[in-house]
A and B are shown apart, each in its own frame.
Chain A
């Protein structure tokens, strides 16, 4: 393979690996911008992956799978909302609990229902989201440079991939150009002011966590029935936390979130590509470096070496209306 082909293949897998990060980080964006910390992204993603794979297996339809994935993920985010908004519990503790329950339940139910060591049965092609070939791919294929990029990176992805990249401008529009978005950002900075304006802090925050659950439903579904063809035990494998890091790396803004996710997806793709290969002068680069790099970069950012990252002011603080 010449170096251009290698580049195209790495970029292709960068896109595929970034998609779950983008959905999840946008989920975190809505939740955290409204002042609700969400450590439970990982768990919601995992629960959605299991639900979508199970539903797709039973119904034979990818869309039913997506629907169930979203439903279960929203149910988990409502638990988070009930604990942290209604009961004013600790949001971190609630998120940790959700991660545990999701990790445990998916494994226990998977084994009890399917008895394949926590896997769900392999899905046939029609129960998954298959690749979509964009128009003009054949025509473009012979054009140098742009052709292979279009054919292998932009075209040929599944529906959820295109939705992920659509969700970015849509999230921006919702957050910065709608009344709901303005209020959502306000409630994350100063809930008292929002309350004084006669708007319900509770209902606004509930809507934010529901949106977060909705988006996590997409990312989990993508993992189980678009990227793979079954649910595998603990298949989210820390992606929820990488998405959280990407969210911070992007300073809680939608478009930078996409770029941060693409960067972390690229690091992941590079790690897969570099496995067992040696670099001239340096030798073999350990995979663990790539695994740790997203977190190291985010910590460097937090140390103030790449500008400041200011979280929403009211984040993590339950709102108390009465005294």
Chain B
């Protein structure tokens, strides 16, 4: 009998399998470190110390995690409709334009809490706008969303570089970036939140975007599991033909969920643009859109899982930075390797161990 259809209890599906896959990914990463000639144990220790050792490290970890929560949610909502949005990277990049334009327009006149709602909306609208054409091509023309969103990443990157180099640049400056936003265009740091736990934030850019990200987790949870539209989305994701017979419009559902996905990706820009650097810079997304794929896969497309996976990747990013500082033979690119292995084992090979685990489980149940 095929083992693919044997039901397994939730704790195996949602805890044991991901942990086994993740362990394998980290074991192979350790192997790479060992091949380079460093001790994997020391590397792991340095990483954990760098990411969680001090208040500043935790601040950076949570700052990175904020990015990944947004992009992870963006990938996840699309996956619930059976769509693979690889374009979170580009949507976040263009979303940054929305946030920056609002910050540039408002920062002279109003305090940050007035700017913030407009910036959130603008970032989401710009991000959603960048998902619009791929969504339309998927819904109406049947063009594969993966292909079109990849292409829109590149078109978006070209567009943003053009705008930053030719339009938004400060006259007379060399760096392709906007002017620094004033206080009214910056999102304040969460020193007080860290102080509650007796930690000092230091220069870490952990800011209000984190709270927006948590709110979005709740919003996504309600949307997907507690609304009629979410039910339609999940139905479509499970079976397009069943959704069709149930009278769920394919075009409408695909368009709306992709706009939501793009909007969530766009909001990611708030964190680096308004929370950290207080200006729009070239390539500020830095691969967070792609990390979102890994985060969503590991978090099983559920907001709670996404938060946990985002924090894990935050630890990797911050710890990896510290590690490359302490062990110069290991560059920051080691994070990219780990990320790739996590995507491979937790995503593409997620069922590799399932048959074996099913066999063990059946023996245990019988015994």
Contact = CB atoms under 8 A, between A and B. Distances in A.
Interface stretch (B100-108, B224-232, B265-273, B341-349): B341-349
A3 interface: no
Interface stretch (A14-22, A107-115, A145-153, A258-266): A107-115
Interface stretch (B118-126, B146-154, B182-190, B237-245): B146-154
B155 interface: yes
Contacts of A97: 340-341, 343-344, 347-348
A72 to B, nearest CB: 15
Interface string B330-344: 110111111111011
Q: Size class of B's contact patch? A: 35 or more
Contacts of A245: 147, 151
Contacts of A99: 340
Nearest to B38: A112
Between A100, A107, A320, the greatest number of chain B beta carbons within 10 A of the residue's beta carbon is seen for A100
Interface in A277-307: 286, 288-289, 291-292, 295-296, 298-299, 302-304
A244 B150 contact: yes
B98 to A, nearest CB: 19
B122 to A, nearest CB: 23
A108 B147 contact: no
A121 interface: no
A82 B146 CA distance: 21
A104 B343 contact: no
A79 B297 CA distance: 19
A226 to B, nearest CB: 25
Interface in A51-92: 79, 82-84, 87-92
Given A39-B146, A295-B155, A79 B344 contact: yes
Contacts of B350: 89
Contact of B336 (A103, A296, A302): A103
Contact of B348 (A93, A241, A320): A93
B151 A295 contact: yes
A35 B334 CA distance: 32
Contacts of A111: 329, 331, 333
B343 A93 contact: yes
Contacts of A296: 155
Interface residues of A, number: 53
A89 B351 contact: yes
A87 B137 contact: no
A302 B137 contact: yes
A98 interface: yes
Contact of A107 (B37, B293, B333): B333
Contacts of B2: 322-323
Given A97-B347, A302-B147, A92 B36 contact: no
A311 interface: yes
A104 B334 contact: yes
Nearest to A42: B150
A276 interface: no
B337 A94 contact: no
Given A39-B150, A298-B151, A304 B141 contact: yes
A299 B162 contact: no
A90 B141 contact: no
A10 interface: no
A124 interface: no
Nearest to A93: B347
A87 B353 CA distance: 10
A238 interface: yes
A94 B344 contact: yes
B159 A292 contact: yes
B358 interface: no
B156 to A, nearest CB: 9
Contact of A112 (B4, B37, B84, B335): B37
B333 A108 contact: yes
Nearest to B287: A100
Contacts of B333: 103-104, 107-108, 111, 118
B133 A299 contact: yes
Given A298-B151, A299-B133, A94 B348 contact: yes
Contacts of B147: 244-245, 248, 302
A214 B92 CA distance: 35
A101 interface: yes
Given A87-B351, A288-B158, A105 B146 contact: no
Nearest 8 Cβ contacts at the A-B interface: A100-B340, A104-B336, A104-B337, A94-B348, A101-B340, A107-B333, A97-B344, A295-B151
29 contacts: A39-B146, A79-B344, A89-B349, A90-B347, A90-B348, A97-B348, A99-B340, A100-B343, A102-B340, A104-B334, A104-B337, A107-B333, A107-B336, A108-B36, A108-B330, A108-B337, A111-B331, A111-B333, A245-B147, A286-B162, A286-B166, A288-B158, A292-B154, A292-B155, A299-B148, A302-B137, A302-B141, A303-B143, A304-B141
Interface of B: 2, 4, 32, 35-37, 84, 86, 133, 137, 141, 143-144, 146-148, 150-152, 154-155, 158-159, 161-162, 165-166, 290, 293, 297, 329-331, 333-341, 343-344, 347-352
Given A93-B348, A316-B144, 5 more contacts: A39-B86, A93-B293, A96-B293, A108-B334, A245-B151
